């Protein structure tokens, strides 16, 4: 990138102050944001990339995705755009160095310090993975260490933006830093969250040992080791590394992605669990490297561009690995043969690219199960595929989450093909309908229409529901139920029959209890006098004894006892007068005559006058 940009203002906003570095994608400058009056890092893309419309579209899409990441351990993207032939990205300016510098100058690091840095890196990757972003190019140069010690991960999404755009006619270069490529990237050109986990584990290994896990003289050799080589054990190289960290590294660098944690969140949890099991002395112990020769490149050896982003790596060496002191001199007599070999490699790589990463290639359906619909659709689109969504019920997968995909995750398919996402609608549930008052036939039809089935049917008497209609439902109406759930019904047999007993002559409380205990209702008429039924006892009932039903009403008339009258004074009356007066009072008359009753005069009466006696009582009069 020409130095002439210094002093120019890009997009009417960013005044370029100084040139920092050149890299595989372009150049990095420090610029003043005139709108917000602050310094930013301004990355200007290479002119050949800027002229490629497909690259520019992909770059903008990935930059927008990265700009949505807001996390203290992520270098924030503040702007992106184009100014004439310049396509640029404005980012947070982090003053300090990179993890590469720390490893080169200080590694092996104490385990505690290495875990602190790895923890911050995984926090950043975890935030990206939750947002549906995969970094794809995690390496020390993309981990910035600020002057205040803050750890920040840079260049999210940019590796994807340039993946298919940077194989140029120069052709002895390939995109990527071979030391951190995952086996699936090498073999299939695919990357997902587990790819970032693999690279993060390799960074932790370097911090703990000061060496790359897979050194080599050429990218091809290094890539071969990622797929076929044995991951070294950190404690074999640095004896003070706790063996628990060996297990953590083995987990993150498993060859098969399915054997690694699903994403950075899961690996971060494993890291923190491992750390809790270490003592303070384990964490603070100064490393003591083992006395073993270094094979290949130490971790501090330069392997990337000065700007810290994805150096173009050489492919023109295919010699086997040798210790440094055994490397043969490159003599002029081999130069022609080396160039021919390099040309063959370039042609082979170009052919592989066209039919794998290129427009005629295939892509791998990403891991989609368990992701939310939005995240899954974004992942499918990033894999150069089209997403189609269909919704299905699921008892185990939360609503809005992918149940499965067709083709399945991991399948190789043509680019720009479609992937059907089967997204959960949640558990299949149907509300129990309202069935009370319906006939059994109608209720059965309603259950069938509501994707439910008829359960146990029982019959019972009901004082309010007519015979043949539904009394109750279990589960009750409105209850969400699984498809095919059996719904139990109770059907009315109508009113329950009961024999009405004879309660006449019984005391009112006893008569009432006898009737209500049978489910009968009791009402009372006006109390009446009775000369034959004692006071408080039942004189009559309506209806009388016989068949009835629960809920029927029986009316009772209760006795007030006999009616009392006052005996009139009929002495000195004639027999006729006395008889009339007594009968008028409701009394009966018994006449006893003495001396033939010649004078027809009442001389005495029993009971005596003015006594209170029951109506109908017989009064005896004595007539002379």
Angle at 217 between CA 212 and CA 219, to 5 degrees: 80
Bond into 543 cis (ω within 30): yes
Per the residue annotation, which of 48, 79, 119, 137 is the catalytic one? 137
- Among the listed residues 566, 577, 574, 548, the one whose alpha carbon sits nearest the alpha carbon of residue 609: 566
Which two three-digit tokens encode residue 553? 């009403």
Pairing of strands 86-92, 77-83: antiparallel
How many residues can be counted in the chain? 624
What is the full DSSP assignment across 363-380?
EEPPP-TT-BHHHHHHHH
Pairing of strands 618-623, 588-593: parallel
Write out the H or E segment, with its range, that includes residue 326: none
Sign of CA dihedral 170, 171, 172, 177: positive
Q: Give the bridge partners for 556, in sequence order.
A: 524, 541
CB 140 within 8 A of CB 100: yes
Q: Where are the beta strands (DSSP E) in 319-469?
A: 362-364, 386-392, 402-406, 412-414, 418-424, 429-431, 453-460
CB 232 within 8 A of CB 215: no
Q: Is 246 a catalytic residue?
A: no
Bond into 108 cis (ω within 30): yes
Using alpha carbons, list the distances in angstroms from residue 52 to 83, 106, 164.
Answer: 15, 42, 11
- Tokens 């069938």: give the residue: 448
What is the full DSSP assignment across 263-319?
SHHHHHHHHHHHHHTS-HHHHHPPP---S---BS-BTTS--S-TTSS---EE----P
Q: Report the C-alpha gap between 108 and 111 in whole angstroms.
A: 9
- Among the listed residues 70, 200, 212, 185, the one whose alpha carbon sits nearest the alpha carbon of residue 122: 200
Residues of 282-291 as b/e, b for ≥16 C-beta within 10 angstroms? bbebebeeee
How far from chain centre, in Å, is Cα 251?
Answer: 27
Q: Give the bridge partners for 592, in sequence order.
A: 622
Q: Can you state the angle between helices 264-276 and 243-252, rounded to 10 degrees?
A: 170
- Among the listed residues 21, 261, 65, the one whose alpha carbon sits nearest the alpha carbon of residue 160: 65
**Nearby residues of 123 by Cβ (< 8 Å), 6 or more positions away:** 71, 73, 264, 268
Catalytic annotation, residues: 137
């Amino acid at each position: 990138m020409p130095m002439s940009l210094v002093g120019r203002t890009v997009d009417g906003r960013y005044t370029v102050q100084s040139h920092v570095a050149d890299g595989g994608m372009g150049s990095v400058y420090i610029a003043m944001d005139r709108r917000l009056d602050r310094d930013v890092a301004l990355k200007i893309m290479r002119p050949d990339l800027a002229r490629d419309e497909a690259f520019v579209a992909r770059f903008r899409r990935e930059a927008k995705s990265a700009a949505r990441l807001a996390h203290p351990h992520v270098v924030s993207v503040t702007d992106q755009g184009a100014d004439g032939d310049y396509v640029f990205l404005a980012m947070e300016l982090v003053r300090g160095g990179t993890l590469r510098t720390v490893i080169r100058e200080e590694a092996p690091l104490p385990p505690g310090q290495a875990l602190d840095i790895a923890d911050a890196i995984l926090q950043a990757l975890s935030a990206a993975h939750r947002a549906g972003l995969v970094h794809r190019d995690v390496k020390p140069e993309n981990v910035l260490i600020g002057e205040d010690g803050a750890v920040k991960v840079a260049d999210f999404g940019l590796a994807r933006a340039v993946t298919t755009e940077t194989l140029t006619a120069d052709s002895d270069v390939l995109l990527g830093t071979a030391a951190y490529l995952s086996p699936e990237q090498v073999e299939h050109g695919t990357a997902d969250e587990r790819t970032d986990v693999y690279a993060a584990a390799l960074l932790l290994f370097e911090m703990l040992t000061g060496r790359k896990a897979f050194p080599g003289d050429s990218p091809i050799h290094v890539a071969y080791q990622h797929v076929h080589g044995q991951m070294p054990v950190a404690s074999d190289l640095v004896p003070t590394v706790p063996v628990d960290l060996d297990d953590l590294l083995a987990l993150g660098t498993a060859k098969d992605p399915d054997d690694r944690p699903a994403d950075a969140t899961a690996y971060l949890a494993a890291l923190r669990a491992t750390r809790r099991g270490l003592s303070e002395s384990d964490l603070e112990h100064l490393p003591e490297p083992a006395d073993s020769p270094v094979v290949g490149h130490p971790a501090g050896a330069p392997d990337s561009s000065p700007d810290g982003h994805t150096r173009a790596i050489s492919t023109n060496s295919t010699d086997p690995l040798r210790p440094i002191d055994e490397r043969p001199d490159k003599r002029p007599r081999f130069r022609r043969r080396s160039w021919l070999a390099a040309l063959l490699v370039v042609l082979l790589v170009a052919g592989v690219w066209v039919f794998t990463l290129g427009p005629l290639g295939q892509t791998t359906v990403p891991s989609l199960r368990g992701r939310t619909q939005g995240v899954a659709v974004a992942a499918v689109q990033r894999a150069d595929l089209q997403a189609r969504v269909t919704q299905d019920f699921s008892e185990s997968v939360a609503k809005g989450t992918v149940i499965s995909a067709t083709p399945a995750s991991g399948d190789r398919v043509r680019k720009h093909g479609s992937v059907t996402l089967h997204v959960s609608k949640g558990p299949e549930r149907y509300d129990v309908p309202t069935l009370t008052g319906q006939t059994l036939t109608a209720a059965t039809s309603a259950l069938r229409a509501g994707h439910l089935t008829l359960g146990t049917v029982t019959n019972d008497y009901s004082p309010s529901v007519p015979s043949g209609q539904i009394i109750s439902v279990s589960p009750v109406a409105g209850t969400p139920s699984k498809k095919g759930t059996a719904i139990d019904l109770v059907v009315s047999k109508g009113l329950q029959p009961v024999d009405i007993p004879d309660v006449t002559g019984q005391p009112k409380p006893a008569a009432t209890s006898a009737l209500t205990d049978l489910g009968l209702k009791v009402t009372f008429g006006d109390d009446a006098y009775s000369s034959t039924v004692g006071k408080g006892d039942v004189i009559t009932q309506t209806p009388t004894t016989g068949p009835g039903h629960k809920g029927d009403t029986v009316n009772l008339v209760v006795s007030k006892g006999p009616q009392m009258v006052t005996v009139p004074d009929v002495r000195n009356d004639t027999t006729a007068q006395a008889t009339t007066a007594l009968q008028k009072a409701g009394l009966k008359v018994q006449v006893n005559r003495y001396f033939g009753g010649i004078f027809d005069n009442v001389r005495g009466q029993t009971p005596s006058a003015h006594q209170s006696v029951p109506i109908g009582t017989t009064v005896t009069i004595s007539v002379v």
